[in-house]
Amino acid sequence: MLEKIRQTVENKKVLVLGLGREGRSSLRMIRKAGGYKELAVADQNPVEVKESGEEKIPVISGTHYMDKELLDSYDIVFKTPGIVLPEKIENYKCQFVSQTGLFISKFRSQIVGITGTKGKSTTSTLLYHVLKENGEDVVLAGNIGIPVFDIAEDITVGEVIVLELSCHQLEYITVSPHIAVLLNLYEEHLDHYGTMAAYVRAKQNIYAWQEKEDLLFCNMEFLPGHEVEGAGPESAGVPCKGEVISAVLIPEGENPSGRGDIEVAGNAVRYRGSGLRIPEQGISLIGQHNYFDIAMVYGICKEFSLTDEQFLKGLRSYQTLPHRLQYLGIKDGIRFYDDSISTIGETTIQALESIKNAGSILIGGMDRGVDYDQLEEYLAGSSVKHIILMEATGKRIYSEIEERYPTLFGSGKLCLVDHLKDAVELAGKLGEEGSACILSPAAASYGIFKNFEERGEVFKKYVFG
């Protein structure tokens, strides 16, 4: 990996843009690789860079840290994912590179890359766990919180690399992993991308650069060559050269009829002649959306020649990640679930579909302009007894329901509060013994909490003290 980095920066003026965890990881590896002409750091906030020997790294901070003139004064810019460039990338003279792009180009043949609006962390960690449990030499990295440069020097020949990939990590890459997984595509991150089309195009880089010998495991609703709802005709224009393995979730009561290479009907999974019943007891993943992710992992594991018994062994010992429809416990006879990871309406619907006898659902957070039509329509027909709305998106959903669904609005189900603490207190007062309370906000946490993890931890503290 060091050789790859050195080839990239050799005799070049190099800037590390953004000095969070990944930026510091990039800086460390660039310095270790050496060969650059100049090296500097740019970040919105004042940051401290440790000196190494006699080398002093200049730090550029403040409101002008991303000025085009500044960036174009460097040959190579290592951009941290999530940083929004002021202009289109083609308007810059400098070359933007990323950890993700360089890492995939180096280890492409060993990588299973997994992306999707929702479910990528569960799918990535489940695949890693099942392979690890069955003796496979495997490592997990990427958007899961482990910068790829942090593991790059320890990768061995033949080791499987499970790589969770966000849209930001995929946005500008020009290389795709040998095995790619696209779980789903929903409206998300429009504050960054502006349009659904731009967001979808970033995600499609998971397979856009694959070769003929590669594999793409893809949700049938989002296959290459098919227009993605809300993204326009251009979303159908990204082909895949690799072999496409389609996956479909069969609606209840319908016959699979060979629609996809992977089919999920209830708890039954079929993949190319192999069949499996997902245990309904003794596993931590519940709900049809999780069954779909399990089926994807099952298909991949079959490509690694695991038997059904080996797969089930790993599935049974896997523990759900925190804040992803996580069962917290019982208080005053009410079951509490933390689904703080939920930032879109579709995941809130999935939570209500998965948890039986839901007494209250807690919805709301930062308003990024996400469309809640589908969620509101679902709530209008839902059996959930109390819909507790909070923060900016809660207020918007409340007013939209008042306008569009007068029957629901007048039913007494809707409750509008200010913050999460108020929502938890109200849920405790309204809850009945044996019912469930679910935090599934369908909105981002930014501006209210540091991240969704903190929101989930605060929710747990409010419930249990």
Q: Which residues are annotated as a binding site for ATP?
A: 116-122
Going by the annotation, the residues of the binding site are: 116-122
Token code pair at residue 402: 């008042």
Distance CA 453, CA 321 (A): 11
d(CA 406, CA 403): 7
The CA R_g of the chain, rounded to the nearest whole Å, is: 23
Neighbours of 97 (CB within 10 A): 20
SS (H, E, C) the chain: CHHHHHHHHCCCEEEEECCCHHHHHHHHHHHHHCCCCEEEEEECCCCCCCCECCECCCEEECCCCCCHHHHCCCCEEEECCCCCCCCCHHHCCCEEECHHHHHHHHHHHHEEEEECCCCHHHHHHHHHHHHHHCCCCEEEEECCCECCHHHHCCCCCCCEEEEECCHHHHCCCCCCCCEEEECCCCCCCHHHHCCHHHHHHHHHHHHHCCCCCCEEEEEHHHCCCCCCCCCCHHHHCCCCCCEEEEEEECCCCCCCCCCCCEEEECCEEEECCEEEECCCCCCCCCCHHHHHHHHHHHHHHHHCCCCHHHHHHHHHHCCCCCCCCEEEEEECCEEEEECCCCCCHHHHHHHHHHCCCEEEEEECCECCCCCCHHHHHHHHHCCCCEEEECHHHHHHHHHHHHHHCHHHHCCCCEEECCCHHHHHHHHHHHCCCCCEEEECCCCECCCCCCCHHHHHHHHHHHHHC
Angle between helices 2-9 and 99-107 (to 10 degrees): 130
- Distance (Å, whole) CA 104 – CA 58: 29
Is 95 strand, coil or helix? strand
- Encoded tokens for 347: 């995941």
Residue that has been written with the tokens 């369908």 in this structure:
442
